Structure 1
Amino acid sequence: MVDPSSEADVSVDAGSSPATRGAGAGRTLRRLAVLVSVVVSLFLLPWWTLFSSHTDWPLPVVLVGTVLFAAAVPALPVLMVMGHGRRRSDRAARIADTTLGVVWVLFAWSALGNLLRLVLIALGVGDPDRSRIVAIAVAVIATGLLAWGHREAMRLPRVKRLDVIVPRLGRGLDGTRVVVLADTHYGPIDRAGWSARVAEAVNELDADVVCHAGDIADGTPDQRREQAVPLGTMRSRLAKVYVTGNHEYSSEAQGWLDLMAELGWEPLHNRHVVVERGGDSLVLAGVDDMVAASSGLTGHRADLLGALAGANPDLPVLLVAHQPKYVGQAASAGIDLQISGHTHGGQIWPFNYLVRLDQPVVHGLSRHGSRTQLYTSRGTGFWGPPFRIFAPSEITLLTLRSA
């Protein structure tokens, strides 16, 4: 699934040279060609599996199915641009996101359905029975998974509990409870009530530290304020810290930092705070997302040296960085524990395999180098398609243990 968070810029600078304009137009055409190819492929295989491929359905069934698929092919990119581009139409975004989720599931299970076709061929089952069995199986499985996946996306996330040994942690901080939120993605579907229930669940965990690892919303602070306000009711003994994710950089990142400060959080905008308990100290550091440098916002970039400036190097460091792949820099700097989100655990299987091509870890606790550990959350909410299939959302409770 592709995140079309901004409209494609197809304009060409009138003051540029003919060669530059030609190169720009060529790049735009190539991007459009790739987009069209991807969208057509996503719809073509499910259409072929469900309505063609020798199923021999009655003509009205084939016509209705074909018309629906043919209409959805151009509608999806148009609605995506309307919903996630400059216009930010929530209605268009809801339709487009749901359509994207449905066609992705149909595509994946149509591909698997053709493995069933091979089995039926081996068993001697001929057409149209063979193709009808495959079509019905794909339709039933996809429908069931989408219904279950929607419920999983909209439900209160389960609490995932995990002890993490941090060898340099002082004994006074042994048992420190760190609650992790990530990827709440407040967006076109109004989830203010869900947000309030998440806040209640966090407060029941009696946290010492609460971290939000970014991608707080899709939209500006003004658009999503009502959904975000419950974050201000969350309680912690020592600190509540927040870093930007990549989605903030298409929807007023500085505004989100300001709003989170207003709601009582510590925005770790390439900075750190030190928390103490039982005579021992822990550095909580945070960096901007890795896309911040290309956002054009002054002072926004992932700056680990700046985040750690003035920190005692003998103290253990918990770093909040939105993307797991930042762990390379973290390991080089000797960070003890990095907390990240971004991956959603894949959100809709089998997208997790594609996520793995971009990120070192999809979810869970992992070790990188001799000292650094990384915890990657599956995320608390969801982006775009309102489905979670084999990738449950989570509120994470990490209990830090000294060696």
Structure 2
Amino acid sequence: MSSPSANTAPTTTRPRRPLRIVTISAVVTAILILLFGVPWWTLVAGGPNWPTPVVVVGTLIFALALVGLPASMFLSYGRVDRDGLHRVGDTLIGVVWVVFVWSVLGYVLRLTLMLFGVDDPVRSRISALATIVVSVALVLWGYREAMRVPRVKYVDVVIPRLGAGLDELRVVAITDTHYGPINRAQWSQGVVDVVNELDADIVAHVGDIADGTVDQRREQAAPLATVRSKLANVYVTGNHEYLHEAQGWLDHMDHLGWETLHNKHIVIERGGDRLVVAGVDDATARGSRQASHGADFGAALAGTDPTLPVLMLAHQPKQVTDSVAAGVDLQIAGHTHGGQIWPFNMLVKLDQPSVHGLSRHGERTQLYTSRGSGFWGPPLRVFAPSEITVLTLRRS
């Protein structure tokens, strides 16, 4: 008789990280309690001293939202057939952020009323009602701003190394379209219609094209096939491509007729002068472990004439450090959404060197950070308008 160990194949178990799971769960729980608890206390239970039925109904609404947010996000993750549920979660997180911010600011109004001798519960009720009115107004306005076709923003960029034949070259930039759970095929067509009216020499899509795979978002991306420019349509990946299928989107944009700048460059010529148009993968690409992906400025500019000016597409503003080292004249970025919902722009500033607009880095390099053309997650834009950008390159 053989021993039990002789017939038992060795098994391997994946190491568990219970402490990490507990830590992440605790942090998420704390954030949710803060986001929902502060508004609940400010508007319902803290000082207004509402009648009992009002407190009960208000508490029930906050409790359902508190449970509904994580549940809807978890149940819809990665499931296109549950986009409706995903929309619920996205909307909830946007609304609660607005209400949270203005609940905190409501305490300024409370303090002011106290200084003028207004006592509770009148003071707290005035503050609560003001918070509700402002929050509702901002949510409705923010939704309209998010869903509208972006306004066109015109920016002049002086590039001293630009040849005379390239003076007043027009680069139209769109970015962060984030085709996602809300079907925005009509919006996408509207964006393309505006772009095609702008007489662009180059049209650039600077990443975060969609939240989902090509098969999931094909209809929304379809209008991009009709974008017109005189010299080139160019595209680079953003970080959200690396949450799904970056190579799939590169292949699809190539199929739609775009030049995909996957750590490479092209040289465009006008009036006898030339410009290097290069692009690199997003800063998160290497960590995604997708084969042959990862931002590589050296590869993108390999073989270029160092006397030529360089236009670089790189999704995240913080990639400007590498642009400076590579001698790039202008980098176009997106990613930040301008904060999307105020005052989130203050948090974005902790991670990125620029939230929006034109900035200079080093002696040669300039960075233009777009607020983005679409939105991510909550269908809201508050004090951070979307844009289609016309960058006119000038010699002086």
- Describe how 1:42-61 pairs up with structure 2 within 5 A: 42-61=35-54
Whichever residue aligns with residue 159 of structure 1, its letter is: V
Tell me if 1:129 matches 2:126.
no
What is the root-mean-square deviation in Å for CA atoms of aligned residues? Answer: 1.2
Which position in structure 1 is the counterpart of 2:148?
155
Partners of 1:123 and 1:114 lie apart in 2 by 14
Residues 1:107 and 1:297: Cα distance change in structure 2 (over 3 Å) = same
Of residues 221, 224, 230, the one that matches 1:231 is: 224
Tell me if 1:356 matches 2:349.
yes
SS across alignment from 1:79: helix
SS across alignment from 2:34: helix
Residues 1:92 and 1:323: Cα distance change in structure 2 (over 3 Å) = same
**Runs of 5+ in structure 1 lacking a partner?**
1-13
Q: CA deviation at 1:78?
A: 2.0
Which position in structure 1 is the counterpart of 2:67?
74
Partners of 1:296 and 1:42 lie apart in 2 by 34
Partners of 2:82 and 2:238 lie apart in 1 by 22
Partners of 2:106 and 2:145 lie apart in 1 by 24
After superposition, the C-alpha distances for 1:281-336 in whole angstroms (9 at most, x for unaligned) are: 00000000011111121000001101011111111000000000000111111110
Partners of 2:77 and 2:130 lie apart in 1 by 34
Of residues 270, 277, 284, the one that matches 2:263 is: 270
Tell me if 1:294 matches 2:291.
no
Of residues 199, 212, 218, the one that matches 2:211 is: 218
Q: CA deviation at 1:80?
A: 1.5
Most deviating of 82-91 and 349-358: 82-91
After superposition, the C-alpha distances for 1:75-97 in whole angstroms (9 at most, x for unaligned) are: 21121123334677211110000
SS across alignment from 2:46: coil
Q: Look at both structures and tell me which one has the larger radius of gyration over its CA atoms.
A: 2
Q: Is 2:35–2:97's contact at 8 Å kept on the other side of the alignment?
A: yes
- Describe how 1:93-242 pairs up with structure 2 within 5 A: 93-242=86-235
Q: Is 1:345–1:362's contact at 8 Å kept on the other side of the alignment?
A: yes
Which position in structure 1 is the counterpart of 2:4?
none
Partners of 1:274 and 1:60 lie apart in 2 by 69
Q: CA deviation at 1:384?
A: 0.6
Partners of 1:82 and 1:290 lie apart in 2 by 29
After superposition, the C-alpha distances for 1:311-369 in whole angstroms (9 at most, x for unaligned) are: 11111000000000000111111110000000000000000000000100000000000
Which position in structure 1 is the counterpart of 2:34?
41
Q: Is 2:80–2:181's contact at 8 Å kept on the other side of the alignment?
A: no
Tell me the percent identity: 62
Whichever residue aligns with residue 148 of structure 2, its letter is: R
Whichever residue aligns with residue 339 of structure 1, its letter is: I
Partners of 2:76 and 2:306 lie apart in 1 by 46
Q: Is 2:80–2:216's contact at 8 Å kept on the other side of the alignment?
A: no
Which position in structure 1 is the counterpart of 2:378?
385
Which position in structure 1 is the counterpart of 2:8?
none
Number of matched pairs:
386
Tell me if 1:15 matches 2:5.
no
Partners of 2:205 and 2:151 lie apart in 1 by 16
Please give the TM-score of this superposition, normalised by the length of structure 1: 0.94
After superposition, the C-alpha distances for 1:100-151 in whole angstroms (9 at most, x for unaligned) are: 0000000000010011111111111111100100000000000001000000
Tell me if 1:303 matches 2:300.
no
Partners of 1:102 and 1:300 lie apart in 2 by 36
Whichever residue aligns with residue 290 of structure 2, its letter is: L
Whichever residue aligns with residue 281 of structure 1, its letter is: R
Runs of 4+ in 1 over 2 A off after TM superposition: 14-17, 81-89
Q: Is 1:318–1:337's contact at 8 Å kept on the other side of the alignment?
A: yes
Q: CA deviation at 1:71?
A: 1.8
- Describe how 1:315-334 pairs up with structure 2 within 5 A: 315-334=308-327
SS across alignment from 2:139: helix
Q: Is 1:82–1:88's contact at 8 Å kept on the other side of the alignment?
A: no
Which position in structure 2 is the counterpart of 1:11?
none
Partners of 2:12 and 2:342 lie apart in 1 by 47
Partners of 1:352 and 1:83 lie apart in 2 by 27
Partners of 2:56 and 2:325 lie apart in 1 by 59
Residues 1:87 and 1:193: Cα distance change in structure 2 (over 3 Å) = closer
Whichever residue aligns with residue 340 of structure 2, its letter is: Q
- Describe how 1:76-95 pairs up with structure 2 within 5 A: 76-85=69-78, 89-95=82-88
Partners of 2:240 and 2:26 lie apart in 1 by 25
Which position in structure 2 is the counterpart of 1:337?
330
Partners of 1:327 and 1:84 lie apart in 2 by 32
Q: CA deviation at 1:54?
A: 2.0
Tell me if 1:260 matches 2:253.
yes
Residues 1:211 and 1:87: Cα distance change in structure 2 (over 3 Å) = closer
Partners of 2:31 and 2:320 lie apart in 1 by 31
Q: CA deviation at 1:190?
A: 0.5
Partners of 2:101 and 2:364 lie apart in 1 by 39
